[in-house]
Chain A
Amino acid sequence: MSKMTVPEIELLDGGHVACQGCGAALSMRLFLKGAGPDTALVIPACCWAVIASSMPNTCLRVPTVLSAFEAAAAVASGLKAGLRRKGAGDVTVAAFAGDGGTADIGIQALSGAAERSEDIIYVCYDNEAYMNTGIQRSGATPPGTWTTTTPRGLDKKTPKKDMPAIMVAHRIPYVATLNPSFAEDFVAKVKKAVSIHGGTRYLHILADCPTGWKHDPSQMVEVGRLATWSRAWPLYEVENGKYRITWEPSKVVPVTDYMKVQGRFSGLTPENIDGIQKSVDERWLKLKALASAT
C-alpha cells in the first residue's frame, strides 16, 4: 500500500491544545482525513473536549457537538435522526470518545446504539486510562500499568476489557482496530466505515499518551509501531462477522520492547512481562484462528 492513500485534506487546524506527542490529536487528524468534510462529530467528556479549544474557538473544520461523559452514542443517534429529518441524512455522524467514555461510563449508551443498529460511526481513542483527569485506571487499562489509582502496591490485576470483541458480539457490520502509527491502514479503515451504511461501525484506536505512558513525546509514532510489531496491539477488522488481520509484522518483536520504553510499565517484573507475552501470543493465535474460521 502506498502512502499516497492518505488524503491531503486537513480538517484539523492548528491551534489545538493537545500535549506534545498526543496520539489522540494525530488520530483525529487521520480520522478526519478518512471521513472527509461531510462529517459531524459528537465528543463526550475526554481529552478531545479540551483539545478542540475553548469557546468560541475550535480547531475542527467539521461541526461538533460536545456532550456528557456517558452520552456520546445516544447524542450521535439523535443527531443522525435530526439531520435525516432535515434532509441532511448523508452527513456522517461520528462519536469520538476516550476509553473511559467507551469501555466504562459510556458502554451502556454505546451498546444500546449498536443494538439499535444506529447509522453512526463510534470511534474510541484508547489511551488506556483516564488521561484528561490525570491518569487514572479505566476498564481499558492493561494489567500491571502504573496509574495514579493503581500505584505500586495497588496494582491492576485484571485484564484490559476487550471492547472490539464486545462490539463484534453486537453483530454490527464493521469493527476494526487502528493505530495512528500505521496511517494507511488507519485511513483505509475509516473510509470503509464511512462507506458502510445501515448499522453502527466501531473503530478502536490505540492512542498513545506520552504524559500518561511516561515516555518522551518524540517517541509517539515509534511506540505505536512497537505496539503492533509486538502484537500487543494487533491490527484487524471484522466485517459482518468475518475477521481479517490487516497488517502483519514481518519481524515480530518481543512485547518487552514495547513496554520497556514506557515508564508506566516500569514496575513490572520479568515474570510479569513473561505472563503478558504469553497472553499476547495466545490472543494472536486466537485472532489467526478467527481469521481463518470466518
Chain B
Amino acid sequence: MTRELLSGNQAVGEAVRLARVEVIAAYPITPQTTIVEHLAEAIAKGRMDCDYITVESEHSAMAACIGASLGGARTFTATSSHGLALMHEMLHWASGQRTPIVMANVNRALGPPWNIWVDHSDSMAQRDTGWIQIYAETNQEVLDTVIQAYKVAEDKRVMLPAMVMEDAFVLSHTYMPVDMPEQSVIDKFLPPYTPMQKVHPETMELYGSFSPPDGPYMELRRDMENAMNASLPVFKEVEADYAKLTGRPALGLMEEYRTDGADVVMVAMGSMAATARDSVDELRKEGKKVGLVRLRVFRPFPHDYVRSIGERFDTVGILNRAYSFGSGGPVSTEMCSSLLTLPDPPKVASFIAGLGGRDLRPADVSKLYGKLIDGKFNQEEWIGLKEGVV
C-alpha cells in the first residue's frame, strides 16, 4: 500500500484502473471532466488496458455502457448534474437490463441559473431509477467505494448498477492523502466480471422485449426490489472482505460519529458530514451532548438503521443539500417515512442547506445543533438565505 495525494476525481480514476474496467464511455462535464481525462491518460500511457468510447453525449455514454456490459465487459462512466439528468432514461434501461455498471457522479447543481457547485439535486432526482446510490465523504472513501461498488453490483444476488457520489470541488478537486491498495490485493478482492447475460450467437437470447400487463413486467420489477434489498447484506459482506484485505475500516450503511450519550443527532450526507464533524467536536468540548449520523447508502434506503436512530435519539436534525419542490428535503422525507413507523417517533427538523454550493460552515451547523438542543425549530428551515435577493 502506498499513500498518494489525490483529488477526488483522481481517486475515482485510480479506483477504475485498479478495478480493471474493460470499457469506458466518456463525455466531459464540469466538474467530472478530470475523471475521464485521468482515465484517458492512464490508457494512453499503458497503465490500463481498456476500450475508451468517446461518445457524443451522456445519454450515449450510458447507452454504450449498457451495450458493453451486455457484451460481457466491466464498464464505467462518470458524469454530473445535467449529464446525469440527460442519462435519466438510460438509467432505467441499465437497471432493467440488470447491467452492473458503476458510475461516478460528481454532485453538482442543476440549472438554471447555471451553477457548477455542489448540490445533491442531480442524484436525488435519480433515486427511483433502480440504481444503488452511495455518497462519499472523503477521497479515500471515493476510491474504496468505487472498487467495492463493482463487487456489490456484480454479485449474482444483486446485478444492479451502482452510482458513487462525490461532492463537486469539495471532493472532486480537493487533494487529500489516499492510501492506494496494491493491484494484487484488488485482483484478489475483485475477480474478473462474469456476466449472467450472454449476447452471443451461441445463445440467441433477446434482452428487453415488451411485456404486456399480464406478462412478467411486474414480477421483474419485484425482482429488482428483491435485488435491492439483497444488496444491503451484500454491501456489508463486501466491506468486511475489503477491510480484511486492505486494512481499511468498514464504514457501514450509516456511519455514526460521537453519538454515545448524545441527546440530539444531525444526519448529513457527503462532505457536509465533514463540516458537521467539526461542529460536533467544538460542541462536545463545551459539554453539549451532540452526535452525527452520516448516511452513506441512500439506495437501497437503510430503513432499519434509520428506525434504530429514531429509537435511540429524541431529536434528529437532517441536512438536505437538495430540494423536491412542493414536497421537501428528499433525505428528510425518506427518513420520516421510516421514523413514522415507530411507536414513539423522534422530533425531526429538516434543514435545507448548501444548495448550489452555498457555503455551510461549522459555525452554521453549530447553530443548528443549538436549535435542536433548545427544541426550538420549525419543521423545515432554509439555512443561509439572503434577504432581498429575489
Binding site for B on A (CB under 8 A): 37-40, 42, 49-50, 52-58, 60-68, 70-71, 73-86, 88, 91, 108-109, 111-112, 115-116
Is B177 in the interface zone, CB < 8 Å from A?
Answer: no
Binding site for A on B (CB under 8 A): 22-23, 25, 51, 53-57, 59-61, 63-73, 75, 89-90, 93, 97, 198-201, 203-212, 215-216
**A68-B89, A74-B59, A108-B57 are known contacts. Are A81 and B51 too (CB-CB below 8 A)?**
yes
**Contact in complex: B200, A40 (CB < 8 Å):** yes
- Compute how far the CA of A49 lies from the CA of B237 in the bound complex, rounded to whole angstroms: 40
Closest 4 A/B residue pairs (Cβ): A82-B71, A78-B67, A112-B56, A78-B64
- Compute how far the CA of A65 lies from the CA of B97 in the bound complex, rounded to whole angstroms: 9
**A66-B207, A115-B56 are known contacts. Are A82 and B73 too (CB-CB below 8 A)?**
yes
- Compute how far the CA of A82 lies from the CA of B99 in the bound complex, rounded to whole angstroms: 12
- Compute how far the CA of A71 lies from the CA of B60 in the bound complex, rounded to whole angstroms: 6
Taking the closest CB of chain B, its distance from the CB of A205, in whole angstroms, is: 21
Chain B contacts for A53, CB-based, 8 A: 209
Q: B201: which of A37, A42, A108 is its contact (CB, 8 Å)?
A: A37
- Compute how far the CA of A53 lies from the CA of B206 in the bound complex, rounded to whole angstroms: 10
**Contact in complex: B204, A60 (CB < 8 Å):** yes
Taking the closest CB of chain A, its distance from the CB of B273, in whole angstroms, is: 35
Main secondary structure of the interface of A (DSSP, over half): mixed
Q: Which chain A residue shows the least CB distance to B24?
A: A81
- Greatest chain B CB density within 10 A among A74, A82, A83, A88 is at A82
- Give me 9 A-to-B residue pairs in the complex whose CB atoms sit less than 8 angstroms apart, sorted by A's number: A49-B209, A58-B206, A60-B206, A68-B93, A75-B66, A79-B68, A85-B22, A88-B72, A108-B57
Chain A contacts for B73, CB-based, 8 A: 81-82, 85-86
**A82-B69, A82-B72, A86-B71 are known contacts. Are A70 and B211 too (CB-CB below 8 A)?**
no
**Contact in complex: B67, A55 (CB < 8 Å):** no
Chain B contacts for A82, CB-based, 8 A: 22-23, 67-73, 75, 199
- Compute how far the CA of A165 lies from the CA of B205 in the bound complex, rounded to whole angstroms: 35
Q: B63: which of A68, A80, A83 is its contact (CB, 8 Å)?
A: A68
Chain A contacts for B204, CB-based, 8 A: 58, 60-63
Chain B contacts for A85, CB-based, 8 A: 22-23, 51, 68, 71-73
Q: B70: which of A39, A79, A112 is its contact (CB, 8 Å)?
A: A79
Chain B contacts for A70, CB-based, 8 A: 59
**Contact in complex: B67, A64 (CB < 8 Å):** no
**Contact in complex: A79, B199 (CB < 8 Å):** yes
